[in-house]
Structure 1
Amino acid sequence: MRKLTGIVIVMALIWVGWWVIASNSLRGGIAAWLDARVSEGWQADVTAIEAGGFPLSLQTGLVDLALADPEAGLAIQTERLDIAAPAWWPGDVTVTLNDGPILLASPLGRNTLTMQNSVIEMNLHPGSALELDALGWTSGPWALADPGEPLIAADDLTLTMTQTDGPTYDLVARATSFEPGDGPRRALRLPDGFARRFDSLQVMAAVTFDTPWDRTALDTRRPQPRQITLHRAEAKWGDLQLNFAADLKVDTAGLANGTLSLQAQNWRSMLDLAETSGALPRGVRGQAEGILQALAGASGNAETLDVTLAVKNGVLALGFIPIARLPPLVLR
């Protein structure tokens, strides 16, 4: 019995020692990363780095965190960010976001993000590179607002990124009751009676990057997409029902080449909306409707537009007719 008690005491002391070393390593690693960002010209401020979680988990709380990358023009500021991992394997990381307002800044402007019960879970491969195996981000009700008014909101959010083979990842994004705010509605000149919320909004895709996602994605450069297979992107909003699929290759400049398939139900409602918003001049309505009617008829259903568009050097075209230039697909 004494021998067993001694073994238990020794094992407990070993575990305590391991926990202390791992906890200090986690806090030290975070502090070192923040210092490295400062040396690169970032803003990386934190009031305190708190530790906890003994005996089964490693927990670190970052109080009053402010990060800004001047080169990318991106910044984030939050009252608190909590990081936790099992003590036996720190590579399964859970990040809990603060329910309070999170300040976001980008070249597009300054916005405030509020999310309830927002949690990010990451599974990392063993090794110094900490290569990403899977990532999941879930949240309850959330809203993105500019200084004046809400921009977008939804009842929940689900984002997943799962590694399938090296730098290839399956991506899934869903939001329930997605709702554009009054500002976007005014910009689109939507009539007052138009549906306020999307009935469905989801995306499923596979993306191959030039390198896997690992710790260098934050330290040096973001992996860049090179192959995008969009299995399905679905949006149902009032009378509008859109489905997209795509098979694209992306060059080093971010220009896409390939095909984009579009299926639009009740496409005449789209024309009505475009005409009402002013995006489609009234004098062009008849010509546009005639072209789309012919395309819909060719697909076998006059009420459903089902076409495949070509993408060449970032230009979207219907046959030999250019329609629009896509923005470069570059992650900064």
Structure 2
Amino acid sequence: MRKLLFLMIAVTALWSGYWFVGSNAVREGVVTWFADATRQGITAENAGVTVAGFPNRFDLTIDEPRLADPVSGAGWQAPFVQVFAMTWKPWHVIAALPPEQVVTLPDQVVTVGSDGLMASARAKPSTDLPLAEVRTAGPSLSLASDAGWTLGLGEFTVGLRADEALGPAGYEFGFDLAPLTPDPGFLAAVKAVSIPDLPASDLPEVVEALWGSVYLTFSAPLDRHAGKARPHLRRVEINQFNLSWGELAASASGVVEADGNGYAAGRVTIDVTNWDRLPAVLVAAGVVQPEMAPTIVRGMQALAAQSPDMKVLSLSLVLEDGRMSFGPFPLGPAPLMVPPSG
């Protein structure tokens, strides 16, 4: 009996020591990260860092975090962030985000509202800590910009997971972002567009479906060495993309990868059903000038006439020799996928 009691006391002492050492390491790691970011010229502030959860969890709370890049003008702040991890698997963390966050962009400030917004990140248990999965989900999300626009999401999920079939640096990015409620002002602008030979817009207030999966191949794995390796995208394959907004529907598939000069090259095919609803959206979004809309419509009609179904418009985004075009419309230079340094 005494031996059993002694063993229990010893195990308790060891576990308590492990928790206190681990919690101190977590806290010091966060404090060091904020200090390093400040030395690199980033505004990195907080009102306090605490770790609780003894004995089975590391519950990290960062009060009033604020990050900002003085050069780009981008920033983020929130009243708090909480990160949780079980003591026996610290490579799997779950973050609880506050009901309101503020994202600062160079030209506007966006307030992010949410209800039960959660994020999780899981690494594979190895010394390199390769990313296994990162995921964000919630029952609702709203965006409100001081530039005057809003955007709302219902139950949504966004995730990135390692896919061994794509190689050691391959990942699948998946998303389901509907029901999605566009800005009422944008919807009003769409309905106000009048284009000869096209009916007035009948698009509903909610986008019913917006989901898909994209295969991504990087130049190096996303692991603890990523800061030095600086992985960049080398290949993008659109496996599935589906949009359903009233009578307007779209799907896409294709592959884009870096060519010998580092520019994006490939082809993405986009099929639009009931394409006659699309021109008003493009005009309201500022992609097409109102005076050019009739010309664009005639071009779409000619292309749709080549399809077995006049309601379906099939166009290809072609990236080749450093240039890109969308159907017959030139778009300019193709994006550079490989940094100049290689």
Q: Structure 1's 290 and 147: CA in aligned 2 closer, same or farther, altered over 3 A?
A: closer
Following TM superposition, by how much is the alpha carbon of 1:103 offset from its aligned partner in structure 2, in angstroms? 0.9
Segments of structure 1 that go 5 or more residues without pairing to the other structure are: none
Q: Residues 213-228 of structure 1: matches in 2 within 5 Å?
A: 213-215=222-224, 223-228=231-236
1:190–1:273: 8 Å Cα contact kept in structure 2?
no
TM-score by length of 1: 0.87
Amino acid at match of 1:204: S
The superposition leaves residues 237-292 of structure 1 with CA deviations (integer Å, 9 ceiling, x where unpaired) of 1221111112101369874210010111111222455578883656762x544543
Q: Aligned partners of 2:55, 2:334: CA distance in 1, in Å?
A: 50
Aligned residue for 2:83? 83
Amino acid at match of 2:273: Q
2:35–2:44: 8 Å Cα contact kept in structure 1?
yes
Of 182, 205, 211, the residue aligned with 1:202 is 211
Q: Structure 1's 326 and 26: CA in aligned 2 closer, same or farther, altered over 3 A?
A: farther
Aligned residue for 2:308? 300
The superposition leaves residues 118-175 of structure 1 with CA deviations (integer Å, 9 ceiling, x where unpaired) of 1111111345543311111111211111126442111122011011132211010111
Q: Aligned partners of 1:82, 1:238: CA distance in 2, in Å?
A: 39
Q: Aligned partners of 2:260, 2:140: CA distance in 1, in Å?
A: 37
Q: Structure 1's 156 and 125: CA in aligned 2 closer, same or farther, altered over 3 A?
A: same
1:190–1:277: 8 Å Cα contact kept in structure 2?
no
Secondary structure of residue in 2 paired with 1:298: coil
Of residues 70-79 and 272-281 in structure 1, the stretch that sits farther from structure 2 once superposed is: 272-281
Q: Residues 68-79 of structure 1: matches in 2 within 5 Å?
A: 68-79=68-79
Amino acid at match of 1:245: S
Following TM superposition, by how much is the alpha carbon of 1:5 offset from its aligned partner in structure 2, in angstroms? 2.0
Q: Structure 1's 289 and 176: CA in aligned 2 closer, same or farther, altered over 3 A?
A: closer
Does residue 1:267 correspond to 2:275, yes or no?
Answer: yes
Q: Aligned partners of 2:338, 2:79: CA distance in 1, in Å?
A: 27
Aligned residue for 2:102? 103
**How many pairs were matched up?**
327
Amino acid at match of 2:133: A
Following TM superposition, by how much is the alpha carbon of 1:89 offset from its aligned partner in structure 2, in angstroms? 1.8
Aligned residue for 2:177? 175
Does residue 1:328 correspond to 2:328, yes or no?
Answer: no
Segments of structure 2 that go 5 or more residues without pairing to the other structure are: 194-200
Percent of matched pairs sharing the same residue: 22
Q: Residues 20-169 of structure 1: matches in 2 within 5 Å?
A: 20-99=20-99, 101-127=100-126, 129-147=128-146, 149-164=148-163, 165-169=167-171
Q: Structure 1's 27 and 145: CA in aligned 2 closer, same or farther, altered over 3 A?
A: same
Of 245, 256, 280, the residue aligned with 1:248 is 256
2:236–2:257: 8 Å Cα contact kept in structure 1?
yes
Q: Aligned partners of 1:331, 1:5: CA distance in 2, in Å?
A: 62
Q: Aligned partners of 2:114, 2:307: CA distance in 1, in Å?
A: 43
Q: Structure 1's 30 and 327: CA in aligned 2 closer, same or farther, altered over 3 A?
A: farther
> What is the root-mean-square deviation of aligned Cα atoms in Å?
2.9
TM-score by length of 2: 0.85
Of residues 256-265 and 117-126 in structure 1, the stretch that sits farther from structure 2 once superposed is: 117-126
Following TM superposition, by how much is the alpha carbon of 1:80 offset from its aligned partner in structure 2, in angstroms? 0.3
Aligned residue for 2:196? none
Q: Residues 224-239 of structure 1: matches in 2 within 5 Å?
A: 224-239=232-247
1:208–1:225: 8 Å Cα contact kept in structure 2?
yes
Q: Structure 1's 13 and 326: CA in aligned 2 closer, same or farther, altered over 3 A?
A: farther
Amino acid at match of 1:182: P
